[in-house]
Structure 1
Amino acid sequence: MSAPSTVLVTGGAGFIGSHTCVELLDHGYELIVVDDYSNSSPQVFARVERIAGRFVGAVYELDIRDQQALSAVFDRHTVDAVIHFAALKSVSGSTRMPVEYYDTNVGGTTALLRTMHEHGVHRLVFSSSCSVYGEAGPGPLDESTPARPTSPYAASKWACEQLLADVCRWRPEYTVQCLRYFNPVGAHPSGLLGEDPRGTPENLMPYLAQVAVGRRERLHVYGGDYPTPDGTAIRDFIHVMDTVEAHRIALDHLADAPGMHVYNLGLGHGRSVLDVVAAFSRTCGSDIPYELAPRRPGDVAELVADASAVARAWGWRPIRDLDDMCRDAWRFQQLNPHGYAGSPRRPRAMER
């Protein structure tokens, strides 16, 4: 079985999805992208094409729960494999909207799998999350750590993993690479692509960047009483460029063996929220103002990856550190103080 050449990317306009599009174009893949732009912008594709020097290809605005619209995409194109990012992703948001999170994340995955099966597509890279581990305690967590989801978001990701495991168990033609990643941050080193969430950022790094550039007054640090050295939560941050490289390599390994394969992606050591605040302050050259706030529902004290399994299986390790993450995120924010607002859909020099 050969490695796939035409890849459907769901959620391809989002933070990780857009960087993945660049990575795949840089390595010769043909792309089909679907996204509903609920937390992204179609303007991102002009930047993807500018970086890669190639057209993205076919882009469709649709909700993957709309199986009729999704099936029409598969009817128009020959798809070799799918990378599935499309999902709602806020831990705290999921505690306010649990039904919507299950509907989008589990319902979207179910609709995607039905459509793939109807069109004879059986190879998938699934974007999962370290949040499935929940309150697993301190220290690096490997893939055998029992899942203990503490939020509807985490539980929806775990439900998707169980669904995919059952599909692989009962339909042996399927191969799924399931990547549980730990807090991807940073931006493309060009400064053209980065994290540009709609509304108030739910994640630490884009919030820090918006404070540093003057869009927000101060950072709210949720929880200063965790059982950690400085009282703030500890996470394993990984550069988005390392994350998307792993997704591209996962496509190559879909040809290895059928079944469900689960891997953590992380650096293997944690940084507290205040560690990241200090690092970003050094990068931007001024102290980031912050204030402590109560813990958010669904958050846990520590999540750190044991990523040795993927290193053994693929010979792959992340190579970028926290300073790289802060530098690239800050470059993107400086060059794009208001995000993607006002960007053209495609760069003028590359219009068809």
Structure 2
Amino acid sequence: MILVTGGLGFIGSHTVRPLLDLGEGCVLVQRRTGEVPAEFAGAQVTVERADITDLTALLDVGTRHKITGIVHLAGSMPWPPGSDEPIDGARKAIGSLFNVIEAAEAWGVPRVGVASTIGVYAGLTGAGPLREDMPVPLTAPHPIPSFKKIGELLADHLTGATGIEIVNYRISAIWGPRGRPADPFFPAPQLVHAATRGTAPDLSSLRFPAYADDAIDLCYVKDCGRAIALLQLADRLNHRTYNVASGRATTNAEVIAAIEKVVPDAGIDLPTGGSGQRNYLDITRIQQDTGYRPDYDTERAAADYIAWLRAGNER
């Protein structure tokens, strides 16, 4: 059984499905609920209610299930900022990673995957692919990449100290069903939700103004989940860090064009200009070691996302 922390969340739920398709049962650890969602009814899925900041509660899960792998996707930092007292919040964030690794050691789990982020590359200049072997800046512009960099360093140390294969997933900008309708870093979800509702997009949550020519490595969540499942189940991995991404730069203009293929009267308009950056994550490593290839281009992703929303779903 693969234990997935945050298994009912955005990326987590889309990772469980391909794990099941590949023949693995899943134990989903959630803090707030112990119910198996309808979409997994009849599947080899169990939901355990436990807080991963509580080591005793986490270890207790292993008394009821034979855990053979861990995919750690639950949040590793206090979010939103200010939700915890700073020192206590930081202690919980780092402590949860320690707890997951300690549980893996206790259960004899050989491989643990840990979510990192495209944000660790922030500050690198120039266009083109961002590779896992590039030196990344020690500083970070936001708490999320700050904690992820700390996590990557700890994972590298703990891999050597414990003998557990700890794999970092540097996850790109992810969009699709169950994601936040208002993302602070890129506007694609806001644009899709607005077009589906027939309203003007509210981009007030963005940290920076959005331009039509702005680009980011935009990966559909179903591709992201499948990539993580492949990394978890690969017979052999040659690296400890992998980019989980589409492997291409997608502009906001391309997203708008894809949306308007499905909603011709969406009327979305963003100003031209922007940074001109065309960075994207190099996915050579994951392709070579797992055979991963993205199934969703921008048009297919937008159509699938809109269809999901039109079916009466909101997240």
What TM-score bracket applies, with the shorter chain setting the length? 0.7 to 0.9
* 1:46 counterpart = 2:38: yes
- Matched AA of 1:145: M
CA shift at 1:60, angstroms? 1.6
Structure 2 vs 1, CA of residues 275 and 114 (structure 1 numbering), >3 Å: closer, same or farther? same
**What is the aligned length?**
306
- Matched AA of 1:67: L
Say which structure, 1 or 2, has more relative contact order (CA 8 Å, 6+ apart). Answer: 1
> Which whole-Å CA distance do the structure 2 matches of 1:288 and 1:56 have between them?
44
* Counterpart contact for 1:23–1:248, Cα < 8 Å: yes
* Counterpart contact for 2:14–2:226, Cα < 8 Å: no
CA shift at 1:97, angstroms? 7.3
* 1:326 counterpart = 2:305: no
TM-score by length of 1: 0.76
* 1:335 counterpart = 2:315: no
- Matched AA of 2:195: A
* 1:162 counterpart = 2:153: yes
CA shift at 1:236, angstroms? 0.7
Structure 2 vs 1, CA of residues 46 and 103 (structure 1 numbering), >3 Å: closer, same or farther? farther
Out of 171, 177, 185, which is 2:175 matched to? 185
Out of 84, 94, 107, which is 1:119 matched to? 107
- SS class of match (2:62): helix
* 1:142 counterpart = 2:137: no
> Which whole-Å CA distance do the structure 2 matches of 1:209 and 1:196 have between them?
11
CA shift at 1:281, angstroms? 2.9
Deviations 1:180-202 (A, max 9, x none): 1211223xxxxxxx2253x8554
1:1-352 superposed matches below 5 A: 6-37=1-32, 45-49=37-41, 54-87=42-75, 93-94=80-81, 99=86, 102-137=90-125, 138-148=127-137, 149-172=140-163, 174-186=164-176, 194-197=177-180, 200-202=182-184, 204-214=187-197, 217-220=200-203, 222=206, 223-224=208-209, 233-253=214-234, 255-256=235-236, 261-289=240-268, 303-339=279-315
CA shift at 1:300, angstroms? 11
> Which whole-Å CA distance do the structure 2 matches of 1:125 and 1:334 have between them?
34
Structure 2: gaps of 5 or more residues: none
Structure 2 vs 1, CA of residues 86 and 96 (structure 1 numbering), >3 Å: closer, same or farther? closer
CA shift at 1:106, angstroms? 2.4
- SS class of match (1:76): coil
* Counterpart contact for 2:78–2:90, Cα < 8 Å: no
Structure 2 vs 1, CA of residues 98 and 155 (structure 1 numbering), >3 Å: closer, same or farther? farther
Structure 2 vs 1, CA of residues 264 and 101 (structure 1 numbering), >3 Å: closer, same or farther? farther
TM-score by length of 2: 0.84
Return structure 1 stretches of 4+ with deviation > 6 angstroms. 41-44, 95-98
- Matched AA of 1:46: A
CA shift at 1:94, angstroms? 4.9
CA shift at 1:42, angstroms? 7.2
CA shift at 1:70, angstroms? 0.8
CA shift at 1:245, angstroms? 1.6
Structure 1: gaps of 5 or more residues: 1-5, 187-193, 340-352
Structure 2 vs 1, CA of residues 88 and 116 (structure 1 numbering), >3 Å: closer, same or farther? closer
Moved more, 148-157 or 103-112: 103-112
Structure 2 vs 1, CA of residues 21 and 326 (structure 1 numbering), >3 Å: closer, same or farther? same
* Counterpart contact for 2:159–2:166, Cα < 8 Å: yes
1:343 matched residue in structure 2: none
> Which whole-Å CA distance do the structure 2 matches of 1:152 and 1:303 have between them?
21
